Amino acid sequence: MDKFLNEELFEVVLEKAFIEHEKDMLKSYPADDELESEYPISKKEIRRFKNIVKEKEYGKKLIRVYFDRVAVVILCIISLFFALIMTSSEVRAAVENVILKWYDKYTEFVFTEELTRFDYEKVEDVEIGYIPEKYKLETDTSDGVSRDIFYINIDNPDLFLFIEIIKDSNAQIDFDNEYFDYEKIHTNSLDLWVMYDEEEGNGGIVTSYNSIIIKITGYVSKEDLIRIVEDIK
Amino acid sequence: MLSFYLSLVETQSDKEKVEFIYLNYYKLMSYVINQYVSNKDDVSDLVHDSMVKIIYNIDKVDVNDEFRTRSFCTTVAKHKAIDFLRKKERHNIPLDENLDNKNYSEDILDIVINEESYGIILKTIDNLSDTYQAVCKLKYINGLKEREIAEVLDLPAKTVNLRIFRGKQILREALIKEQLHG
């Protein structure tokens, strides 16, 4: 006969034999009544044991049931309290402030990698070659992406000249054309977009050098605006 | 003590199992251990050890099967008692676990399948050392694997394996001997 089958059948026989032998052995042990006198477990001990089991389970059920209820009540109280304090305009403003701060902090994206991926010219390297007379430098600030140069007229501080140098070829430049005439000029291989109000004597000009965008606005003549652009290095 | 037993298990079903075993088999385990150990304090300690061992292996117990649960409890209790005696007397019960590789399986079925031979198996089991009986009972009656038996009896799995093999070998030898001389 197959050796494997032989072994399997022997195992079955052994199982049956061990069970039968065990049954005989267990029968040979004294009955519980007889054992009771020799190895007694007092009724008090049994009661205590049962109580421990019940108490533990009852305690758990109690905690489960009341925990749910208590949690709901606490949530309702917190909600009501919050609704009550939100009736105050100061609190509403404070909450709004917190939300806005949070929004600014966690939803702002700075695409520094995008900007440094290309070989841009530096905005700091741009040199202004010509500035009309009586205009003096007031501020020159740069954040690496854009540079703002601000000039004011020494005779009349209300007259200014503002030069923006932006290092972003995709930057969008807006101009209000309601009060300005718009024209495109080509000079020194540059395209210039000029918006100028002849009556007021102010306007602006926009051009670009590769990836650098330059926007100039101020109270100077159109010729001066064009010359400023032409002399930029 | 009772609180201690219950603290060892997590679920309510396990607590109920512990309760059932304690109330139904505590006395029987005391009796079984008392067959080997006479000192009452030692009996009490060994029953406690047996209870703890059973509780740690409570997942292997199905209290709905009274016969197997009773067998499991008495086997564990008996093993604890024998183990205690062995340690106390510093006497190693000879196990003869150096196995030879005789192949007894070829004609064993022809010998086994008759009533007389089955009686010989029962008789041999009865005479089988408690050391082998414990592992074989847990395997054949409670259906435990070698690894599980090792956990219950605090033995290395390899030792369990050897004892089962040796136990079966003794039964084969007895059958063949009876066939040859009977």
ipTM: 0.78
The pLDDT value recorded for residue A116 is 39
Chain A residue with the nearest C-alpha to that of B5: A49
Tell me, yes or no, if B106 comes closer than 8 A to chain A by beta carbon: yes
In what helix (H) or strand (E) does residue A182 lie, and over which residues does it extend?
Answer: strand A181-187
Q: Is A26 on the interface with B (CB under 8 A)?
A: yes
Q: Cα–chain-centroid distance for residue A233?
A: 40
Does residue A62 register a pLDDT over 70? no
Residue of A nearest to B111 (CA): A10
Q: A193 in helix, strand or coil?
A: strand
From the list B27, B112, B113, the residue facing A36 with the nearest CB is: B27
Q: Do A18 and B19 touch (CB under 8 A)?
A: no
- Interface check B20 vs A, CB under 8 A: no
What pLDDT does residue A107 have?
61
Yes or no, beta carbons of B137 and A22 under 8 Å apart: yes
Q: Give φ, ψ of A215 to 5 degrees.
A: -130, 125
Q: Which residues contact A185 (CB under 8 A, 6 or more apart)?
A: A191, A192, A194, A226
In whole angstroms, what is the distance from residue A14 CA to residue A21 CA?
10
Name the residue facing A17 among B2, B30, B122 (closest C-beta): B122
pLDDT tens-digit series, residues B109-168: 555 556 677 888 888 898 888 889 999 999 999 999 999 999 999 899 889 999 999 998
Q: Do A35 and B126 touch (CB under 8 A)?
A: no
Q: How far apart are CA A209 and CA B9, in angstroms?
A: 79
Considering only residues B103 and A190, tell me which one the structure prediction assigns the higher pLDDT: A190
Q: With an 8 Å Cβ cutoff, are B71 and A21 in contact?
A: no
Helices (H) and strands (E) in chain A, counts: 6, 7
CA distances (Å), origin A158, targets A151, A155, A196, B116, B153? 11, 9, 18, 126, 99
Could B106 and A3 be called an inter-chain contact, meaning their C-beta atoms sit closer than 8 Å?
yes
- Which one of A62-66, A162-166, B137-141, B169-173 scores highest in mean pLDDT? B137-141
This prediction has a pTM of: 0.49
The residue with greater pLDDT, A89 or A42, is: A89
Q: Which residues of B touch A9 (CB under 8 A)?
A: 109, 112
Stretch A48-67: mean pLDDT:
65
Which H or E run includes A204? strand A202-209
Least confident of A217-221, B3-7, B127-131: B3-7
Chain B nearest CA to A82, separation (Å): 40
Tens digit of pLDDT for each residue in A122-173? 777 788 888 998 899 888 888 878 888 999 888 888 888 999 888 875 666 7
A3 touches chain B (CB under 8 A): yes
Beta-carbon separation of A17 and B27 below 8 A: no
Q: Measured between alpha carbons, how far is residue A88 from residues A75, A82, A95, A96, A99 in Å?
A: 21, 11, 11, 12, 17
Contact A152, A159 (CB under 8 A): yes
Higher pLDDT residue, A83 or A212?
Answer: A83
Neighbours of A45 (CB within 10 A): 15
Output A62 or B89, whichever has higher pLDDT.
B89
Query: Which residue in this structure is represented by tokens 């923006």?
Result: A164
Number of Cβ pairs closer than 8 Å across A and B?
Answer: 95
Residues in B touching A14 (Cβ below 8 Å): 121, 136, 140, 168, 171
**For residues B108 and B177, is the Cβ–Cβ distance under 8 A?**
no
- The answer to whether B52 and B58 have CB atoms below 8 angstroms apart is no
